[in-house]
Amino acid sequence: MNPVDDCGCGDYDVSRRSLLKAAGLASMAGVATSMFGDVLTSTVFGASNANVLVVISLRGGADGLSMMVPHAEEAYYSSRPTTAIAKNKLLYADSTFGLHPSFTALGPMWLLGQVAGIHAVGLPAPNRSHFDAMETLEDADPGSSARIGWINRMVSGLAESPDVFDAMQIGDTITPTSLVGPAPTIATQAFSDLAMPFSKDPVMSQRVSDSLRAQYAARGGLIGEAGLGAITLAGRAAAISGSVNDGPLAGVIYPKYSELGAALKSTAGLIRANVGVKAVAVDAGGWDHHVDLGYRVNDTVKDLALCLAAFFLDLGLDAGRVTVVTLSEFGRRLKENGSHGVDHGYGNAVFALGAGVNGGFYSRWPGLSAGTQVDGDLAVTTDYRSVLTEILRARFPALDTSKVFPGISYAPLGFMH
Amino acid sequence: MSTRASAAVTPVVLPSKWQHIGNRFSFGVNESLAASIRSAGSSDAWLRSQFDWGKITDTRSGAVISWFPRLTDSPSAAWARVKADERSSWDYGFDFACYSMARKILSRRQVHEVMVDFWSNLLYIPMGEDRSFPWRYSYDTVIRSRALSTYRNLLRGTIVHPAMSGWLNNSSNTKSGINENLGRELLELYTVGRPSGYDEDDVKNSARLLTGFSVRVFDDFAASYSTANHYRGRVRILGFTHANSSSDGRPAVNAYLDYLARHPATARRIARRLCVRFVSDTPSSSLVSAVANTYLKSDTDIRATLWTLVKHPEFVAAQRKKVRTPVEDVVNAARVLGMAPTGSSDAESFAQKVIWMCNNMGQNPYTWPRPDGFPETSSTWTSPARVLRSWDMHYNLAGNWWGSREVAIPAKLDQLPTQWPCTLGQLVDHQSRMLLGRTASLPLRAAVASALNLPETYVVTSAAKVTEWGWVVIRGAVLNTPEGMLR
């Protein structure tokens, strides 16, 4: 799912909601649900109930300065005469930062110390291109020309021969850069999509599988491998589909027509089913706020907060093994533009939630005075790879993080225990 | 059509080089397209005649717009309907996507249609986006009219178009409040690209020069040029400088766009993108250079540039090496199966259902959420999940299992051999020639035999003996061969 990086365009989100609604008629949102056989699945497939990392990409360049507001900075208020958020509206403000008021739904988690906001995080060098910055962020290995994403390196480091269900992107069939690499990964709109033709007719389905296998094996190359991968995947998916409950658990309500919500709902079902998934990538677009920042950030933060709150509830007892981190390709410029929006900037805020998190605000705060800005932007004092290393070390102690993020200098901030 | 190519038990197929041109420069080589290549005398002659697209009558495709009367609403009328809750911007976008898909399926000007698609993906604006939707159809007509002219011409028509101004916020980019969005993407996406080394000052100057183009977004969407909003003063962007001292900045903008279109970095970027679309995911640097050189020498002429591309040995050697995107897959299947949309009255119409078919495979037309357009690399579209969805969809299409209406489907009898009896293996070969333009491989024959639980040598005595079920299994299996996924 690549929800909208709408470049600040009107009520595009509303359009997307209508799209999803209409799509439901044609099975896009029609997700088969069933819930039985967990125990069988865990024994047969050796599935783990180990820790899981969920990476939510806030695509478009989320404005960290609105999400985790540095309210003590005069420069923040003077640079954003129409879009700054007054201190008295912020949630959980300390002497330096406060959360955007639309984070309300995460209040209970915040009070339980399960949410950490980390500021002035980003790429080692400014890169204000959506496309390049996202690629760099997800590849995370600047010295190498090999196109292998960091999540792929992560799951490769956790098992000698990683399983196809170790790393998944939910919501879109296009594999994001973070998942690309030698370890097998899955990108799918929904788990229920992973089926062979005639899946309701076992004899026919088997015949079709066998003959497609023969043809794709003989063809080889990109399409040959994809075909063989498809058959293997469908077989595995069929074997565990009974235990994957696309939920949600009773009483959990995801926001209506939210693509992020739909993807997290599938993700929760997959995690509860103990199929062995270790990392899940989910896209949440719509953060390119060149116009009307105030209104847009309200909407996007509210959706994010509601979805995350529902997700952790939906995980039930499994919430104890799931950590979420939000990433965005860059922050926005400090000074607002002529459209009550903000153009592309540099330093940004990252959020970590759930298992292993020591809640609160964290930052090696560089300040916002003219002397500390980088070309009009918040400076970066913490490499985003250092933030991810801190999470991985806490949640996957067996992992050699130096192989996931080669060559970085790791400086923990203490937001994980 | 004079003779049915399907008449024989073994219909004649195009020479593979001709088939290759047809596969790359159309949305599907059906009987009618194969006949037009044959009657042109060669694929080169066919391509030349297709370049001259205005001379090709295209009545069926031209009539498609009449199925979507709201698409030609004036921007103010469209906005009034949205305000009155009569329609939504999404409805306008959906109409546009259906319109575009139907033209792809029906058009006889296939090379033109392919290039419209190529430029629409490069100079990308999604469907139904709120700040641009009333102008989206108008934007499409600009791309259509210039898709085979020059890139210079295309840039001039698209960059300052009200749809682009709305989508990338140029409508709120004024001298008193710069908005960098379009100025930046013009450099990064539509012309020189990041390797050219532009810096933040270049981006800012690019945005300053683009001030003045006004669209009254969320008012009546009227577009005009506002000299009062135009930033005046010298600008320098890469090697381009302009005094920009006039209150009307449009001549300066045209000079800037011409400069960018003619920049060697733009030539490489456009050439590379063309090579990825029409040759392979990894075109050689010599191919890209050859194409870029022609682009520069011809002053950005699109037909000359394409000609160099197709004449290159690397293009010739790249047969069946590109994986169809889901949109290409659906349109190709519709064309070769002979399914033609005939209207768009309601959600059951084929013209609308094709959108959900594409979506089901992972590519909803015109809904890529970012301004860089859908990826055109095959590797993007070969995830196992996508392949599974395509396999399923090919059977659905072959059997019209989604029950589409307002679709003309040729009678089965007209698509079967006329000489009987023939063996099951011959029947599969017949369909492979019809749908893929090539003979059936042995594994494909075996695949169908296995699915139907019959020997390949099974003798079918007449057309009437081909059951509906068998017919779908054969055609679905043909589309599902590896070669069926490739163009």
Q: Tens digits of per-residue pLDDT, A204-248? A: 999 999 999 999 999 999 999 999 999 999 998 888 877 776 678
Contacts with B90 from chain A: Cβ below 8 Å = 14-16, 18-19, 22
Closest by alpha carbon to B130, among B100, B158, B92? B92
For the record, the structure tokens of B32 come out as 């009618």
Instruction: Pick the residue of B132, B350, B388, B441 with the most A CBs within 10 A to test the interface with A by mutation.
Output: B388
Q: What is the pTM of this model?
A: 0.89
DSSP-assigned letters across all residues of B286-312? HHHHHHHHHHHHTTSBHHHHHHHHHHS
CB A377, CB A334: distance < 8 Å: yes
Segment B272-298, tens digit of pLDDT = 999 999 999 999 999 999 999 999 999
Whole-number average pLDDT of chain A: 86
For the record, the structure tokens of A174 come out as 């296009």
**Nearest Cβ partner of A223 from B217, B375, B382?**
B382
Segment A95-116, tens digit of pLDDT = 999 999 999 999 999 999 999 9
For the record, the structure tokens of A384 come out as 């985003």
Q: How far apart are CA B49 and CA B391, in angstroms?
A: 35
The type of residue at A281 is: A
For the record, the structure tokens of A394 come out as 């806490």
Complex prediction ipTM = 0.94
Contacts with B362 from chain A: Cβ below 8 Å = 172-174, 189
With cut-offs at 50, 70 and 90, classify the pLDDT of residue B3.
Answer: low
Instruction: Pick the residue of A17, A19, A127 with the most B CBs within 10 A to test the interface with B by mutation.
Output: A19
Strands A98-99 and A68-69 come out as: antiparallel
Determine what percent of chain B is predicted with pLDDT higher than 70. 99
Segment B142-152, tens digit of pLDDT = 999 999 999 99
Instruction: Report CB contact under 8 Å: B181, A189.
Output: no
Q: Given this model, what pLDDT does residue A243 score?
A: 76
CB B425, CB B457: distance < 8 Å: yes
Segment A256-295, tens digit of pLDDT = 989 899 899 989 998 998 888 999 999 898 899 999 999 9
Mean pLDDT of A58-73: 97
Segment A177-209, tens digit of pLDDT = 999 988 888 888 888 889 999 999 999 999 999
Mean pLDDT of A145-165: 90
Q: How many helices (H) and strands (E) does chain A have?
A: 13, 11
Closest by alpha carbon to B468, among B408, B400, B403, B419? B400
Q: How far apart are CA A364 and CA A382, in angstroms?
A: 7
Closest by alpha carbon to B277, among B155, B394, B120? B120
Instruction: Pick the residue of B79, B386, B436 with the most A CBs within 10 A to test the interface with A by mutation.
Output: B386
With cut-offs at 50, 70 and 90, classify the pLDDT of residue B108.
Answer: very high
CB A169, CB A194: distance < 8 Å: no
Domains of chain A, CATH where assigned: 46-191+256-404 (3.40.720)
Question: B69 CB contacts (<8 Å, ≥6 apart)?
Answer: none
Question: A65 CB contacts (<8 Å, ≥6 apart)?
Answer: A76, A80, A331, A332, A334, A342, A349, A378
DSSP-assigned letters across all residues of B386-446? HHHHHHHHHHHHHTTTT--BSEE---HHHHS-SS--EEHHHHHHHHHHHHHSSPPPHHHHH
Number of A/B CB contacts below 8 angstroms equals 229
How many angstroms from the chain centroid is the CA of residue B79? 28
Whole-number average pLDDT of chain B: 96
Closest chain A CA to residue B486: A223
Q: Given this model, what pLDDT does residue A192 score?
A: 81
Contacts with B402 from chain A: Cβ below 8 Å = 26
Contacts with B485 from chain A: Cβ below 8 Å = 223, 227
Question: B54 CB contacts (<8 Å, ≥6 apart)?
Answer: none
Lowest mean pLDDT among A11-25, B111-125, B403-417, B425-439: A11-25
Segment B131-185, tens digit of pLDDT = 999 999 999 999 999 999 999 999 999 999 999 999 999 999 999 999 999 999 9
